[in-house]
Amino acid sequence: MKQKVWFVTGASKGFGLEIVKEALAAGDKVVATVRNNAAALLSDLGSPSELTVVTMDVVKELEVKQAVNDGIAKFGHFDVVVNNAGFGIVGAIEEASDEEVRRQYDTNVFGVLNVVRAVLPHLRERKSGHIINISSLFGYGALPAWALYGSTKYAVEGISEGLSLELAPFNIKVTSLAPGLFRTQFLNSQSYSATANVIADYAETMVGQMKNVPDSLHGNQPGDPAKLAKVVIELAAVENPPLHLPVGQDSFQTYRTNRDKISHEIEKWADKFTPTEISA
């Protein structure tokens, strides 16, 4: 199998770290990005010659461009780009401040766009490549208290779909990969962000109940991050990969449930209001 060159964001832990490990185990080369402690990650992984770790924050466009250029200088090109960096915010939409919402979008949405803009000139020049954007089951259906985070993943789904159409002439593939709940540090209280503002009226609603989920669910999620990494490696080997890919039975079920719910509601109301087409 042809050796690939990967560019993976958010590689210090969770999915990013497991994808880096699996790509290296497959004999590929990897540019792994972290916000800090690049030397520590390189050391932890044994400092293989196939790996370069660069310090980069996805919200800082100049850092992203520099990291991409450093990766190209090191390995010559990229075959697979994995937009994995992200975090979650928990709280009712009303509770979230403008600053908190913008920070969520800066990382999960605009960070993806920063990477995409930086890598595409190189991919277009070679007329090949595969962009894998890590979405979430929350991108298939909204949940109270997690709706803002989910909205960023809805955005990732839409961006991925648009990219797939625009990049098809250049033979560049795009996949929006939506994991279910996996045993990463995502639900660790140090990894997600809670809104600073708390409105008492929501305490007895589903918002209040969902705020308690991370503590009880952390460490009990059904998914194995190492197995997801294997899926990503397998996906990168597919000649014509899917645009949308739920991973984990909970993600598949969330997709199916919300697909059916939306379809039923739209069909139910399709003919209930005044037609809006211009009469001839």
Task: Return the half-sphere exposure (C-beta side, CA atoms, 13 A cut-off) of residue 200.
Answer: 0
Decide: residue 159, CB within 10 A, 0-12 exposed, 13-18 middle, 19+ buried.
buried
215-234 burial code (b ≥16 CB/10 A, e <16): eeebeebebebeebbebbbe
Q: Which of 135, 136, 164, 251 is catalytic?
A: 135
81 in Cβ contact with 129 (< 8 Å): yes
29, 153, 173, 211: the catalytic one is 153
Q: How far apart are CA 119 and CA 116, in angstroms?
A: 5
C-alpha 145/C-alpha 226 separation (Å) is 28
Q: What does the alpha-carbon distance between residue 193 and residue 206 come to, in Å, rounded to a whole number?
A: 18
**Annotated catalytic, 135?**
yes
The C-alpha atoms of residue 212 and residue 23 are separated, in whole angstroms, by 35
Query: Is 272 part of the annotated catalytic residue set?
Result: no
Q: Is 25 exposed, middle or buried (0-12, 13-18, 19+ CB in 10 A)?
A: exposed
Cβ neighbourhood burial of 124 (10 Å; 0-12, 13-18, 19+): middle
Choose, from 21, 29, 136, 149, the residue flagged as catalytic. 149
Give the residue numbers annotated as catalytic, written as ranges.
135, 149, 153
